[in-house]
Amino acid sequence: PGIAYDPPASGTSPHVRAARVLTANWTGRSTVPSRSLYPHQWSWDSAFIAIGLRHLSPLRAQTELETLLTAQWADGRVPHIVFNPAVPLDAYFPGPDFWRSATAGRHAGAPRTVQTSGIVQPPVHALAAWLVHLADPGLSHARGFLVRVYPRLAAWHRYLLRRRDLGGGGLVSVVHPWEQGMDNSPCWDAPLARIVPAPPRSFRRADLTHGAPEDRPTDLDYGRYVRLATDYRDAGYADGHADGHTNAYADGSGGFAVEDPAFNALLIASEHALALIAEELGTPGTARRARAERLTAALVERLWDPEAGQFRCRDLRAPTPDRGLLPERSVSGLIPLLLPTLPHPVAAALVRTLTGPHFSLGDRTRLVPSHDLRSAAFDPHRYWRGPAWFNTGWLLEHGLRTHGERDLADALREAVVTLADASGYAEYVDPYTGEACGATGFGWTAALALDLHH
Ligand code: 9WN
């Protein structure tokens, strides 16, 4: 239903192969990131997927976002996973029986009709909604797409800005590595080291049934992910107030609270998109644009490191009085290049860092590695500790183009499209060789390659 474009059985072009991945991962209301590893709906995956899907079927792209937003909590949070009740409980860990949203999330306003996780993911949704609208404004108007999603997207941003400014400096914090989306980034090594891992026998990983252990986070990482998620759940997924129970901090977070450059840059890009949506609906976008500018200023003030030539993560639980910037250089610290109103010297420095020895774009690497090539923690195969991912490639392609770096943007675009197809639409690839890692037939890889193909 709703499929506007049926790829021919013997298609040979990359476009057709990417479209096939999206068709194979479509469940009728949304798209799974991967049939094997991630058999439910994921929040930021759906946003990226909708951006590609709009070229195949604007209706499916709108539905993708609408389905996700139907699972929004009353407090405004958009959960990072919406569970498909038809999928067996042991197919993914942590599943609905772990998160128990309907009961544990009752006070935060978890929906009663669907089961979800209780944490969030980067807010790419308003940006995606705007791009989806542009693909077919006629259909969008006819279905009242923007009218329906706008209040939900506004509530989502309100939740982040009001309940997650844990550092008090205007930026949003994540309280779990899964929220930031780059789960085992070396940036989290120091903040996670302070977390007592859950006992290994208290949970069972499902990812190792499908993924190679050396491409996935370690058991020790998982023990800590489980501990943080358990504590947050057991405190009723409450943000922003002390409960004196399991949460040790007055702001409601557990032992992990980080201001991340990519998460905040995506919020800013989405706030700009919300301004455009507001205007399209005949209301002023001025206040939103002003807020986006304030957030951009806060981002530069709190996370920009001129010596490193990139943004860094701020660890709010660091035992230093100034709550230090984390020393590791992640691709996350380059993503703000996406923002058109970034001060020129900052954008210029980011381009130098991207092409310099730490990321080597266009020299030793064809796609941007997720982590600093020169870090002792760099590993070309282990998940977010080095491999190149296609969503970060897509974001940086836009950033380069936005700041007038046409040749670099063209080369990156070509690399995303070529390597996505050559790898079988892999989840991530070795940044030097392009060798496929993780799952193949991965949703956002196909979607974003398709988008750059257009
Ligand atoms: C936990 C679905 C998600 C992505 C994340 C990626 C990975 C999950 C996992 O898969 O995380 O949310 O089980 O490893 O890190 O960015 O959204 O594709």
Mean pLDDT over 331-337 rounds to: 98
pLDDT band at 250 (very low <50, low <70, confident <90, very high): low
State what percent of residues in the chain have pLDDT above 90: 89
Residue nearest ligand 1's atom 4 by CA: 181
Report yes or no: 239 and 173 within 8 Å, Cβ to Cβ: no
Q: In a mutational test of the pocket of ligand 1, which residue from 30, 35, 42 has the highest number of ligand atoms less than 8 Å from its CB?
A: 42
Q: Ligand 1 centroid to 103 CA: how many Å?
A: 24
Question: 124 alpha carbon to ligand 1 midpoint, in Å?
Answer: 15
Q: Span 325-354, mean pLDDT? A: 98
Nearest-atom number in ligand 1 for the CA of 43 is 17
Bridge partners, 174 (sequence order): 258
Q: Find the 181 Cα to ligand 1 centroid distance in Å.
A: 6
What is the best residue among 38, 117, 187, 188 to mutate for testing ligand 1's pocket, by most ligand atoms within 8 Å of CB?
38
Percentage of residues in the chain having pLDDT higher than 70: 94
- The reply to whether ligand 1 has any atom less than 6 angstroms from the CB of 52 is no
Instruction: Calculate the CA dihedral of residues 376, 379, 380, 384 and round it to 10 degrees.
Output: -110
Q: Is 201 exposed, middle or buried (0-12, 13-18, 19+ CB in 10 A)?
A: exposed
Mean pLDDT across 101-109:
97
| Ligand 1 site, residue 239, Cβ cutoff 6 A | no
Ligand 1: atom nearest CA of 207 is 13
Residue nearest to atom 10 of ligand 1 (CA): 38
Helix axes 145-163, 125-135, angle to 10 degrees: 160
Kindly state the tokens that stand for 17. 């192969």
- Which atom of ligand 1 lies closest to the CA of 384? 15
How far apart CA 24 and CA 35 sit, in angstroms, is 8
Please give the distance, rounded to the nearest whole angstrom, from the Cα atom of residue 355 to the centre of ligand 1.
Answer: 27
Which CA distances in Å does 263 have to 150, 241, 277, 285, 293?
20, 22, 21, 22, 16
Q: Average pLDDT in the 139-168 region? A: 97
Tokens of 422: 């050559």
Q: What's the pLDDT tens digit per position in 213-227?
A: 888 899 999 999 999
Instruction: Measure the CA angle with vertex 377, ends 314 and 356; round to 5°.
Output: 80
Mean pLDDT (whole number) for 386-398: 98
Q: CA–CA separation, 213 vs 134, rounded Å?
A: 41
pLDDT of residue 214: 87
- The mean pLDDT value for 421-450 works out to 97
pTM above 0.90, yes or no: yes
**Ligand 1 centre distance from Cα of residue 7 (Å):** 28
Q: What are phi and psi of 403, to 5 degrees?
A: -100, 25
Burial call 145-167: b when 16+ CB within 10 Å, e when fewer = bbeebbebbbbbbebbbebbbbb
Q: Which atom of ligand 1 is nearest to the CA of 442?
A: 18
Check residues 101 and 217 and name the one with the higher pLDDT: 101
Is pLDDT larger for residue 105 or for residue 6?
Answer: 105
Give the chain as a 3 state SS string.
CCCCCCCCCCCCCHHHHHHHHHHHHECCCCECCECCCECCEEHHHHHHHHHHHCCCCHHHHHHHHHHHHHCCCCCCCCCCEECCCCCCHHHCCCCHHHHCHHHHCCCCCCCCCCCECCCCCCCCHHHHHHHHHHHCHHHHHHHCHHHHHHHHHHHHHHHHHHHCCCCCCCCCEECCHHHHCCCCCHHHHHHHHCCCCCCHHHCCCCHHHCCCHHHCCCHHHHHHHHHHHHHHHHCCCCCCCCCCCCCCCCCCCCCCCEECHHHHHHHHHHHHHHHHHHHHCCCCCHHHHHHHHHHHHHHHHHHEECCCCEECCEECCCCCCCCCECCCCEHHHHHHHHCCCCCHHHHHHHHHHHHCCCCCECCCECCCECECCCCCCCCCCCHHHCCEEHHHHHHHHHHHHHCCCHHHHHHHHHHHHHHHHHCCCCCEECCCCCCEECCCCCHHHHHHHHHHHC
Bridge partners (DSSP) listed for residue 132: none
Which residues have a catalytic role annotated? 183, 427
Closest approach atom of ligand 1 to CA 217: 14
Cβ atoms < 10 Å from Cβ of 345: 9
Mutation pick for ligand 1 pocket among 81, 120, 183 (CB with most ligand atoms within 8 Å)? 183
Rounded to two decimals, the ipTM of the complex is 0.99
Beta bridge partners of 116: 82
Gyration radius (Cα) of the chain, Å: 20
Question: 237 in ligand 1 pocket by Cβ < 6 Å?
Answer: no
> What is residue 319's predicted lDDT score, i.e. its pLDDT?
84
What is the rounded average pLDDT of the residues 388-410? 98
* pLDDT tens readout for residues 164-206: 999 999 999 999 999 999 999 999 999 999 999 999 899 999 9
Among protein residues, the one with the nearest Cα to ligand 1's atom 12 is 178
Q: Is the distance from the beta carbon of residue 421 to the nearest atom of ligand 1 less than 6 Å?
A: no
Backbone angles phi, psi at 311, to 5 degrees: -80, 155
Task: Quote the CA–CA distance of 157 and 285 in Å, as a whole number.
Answer: 15
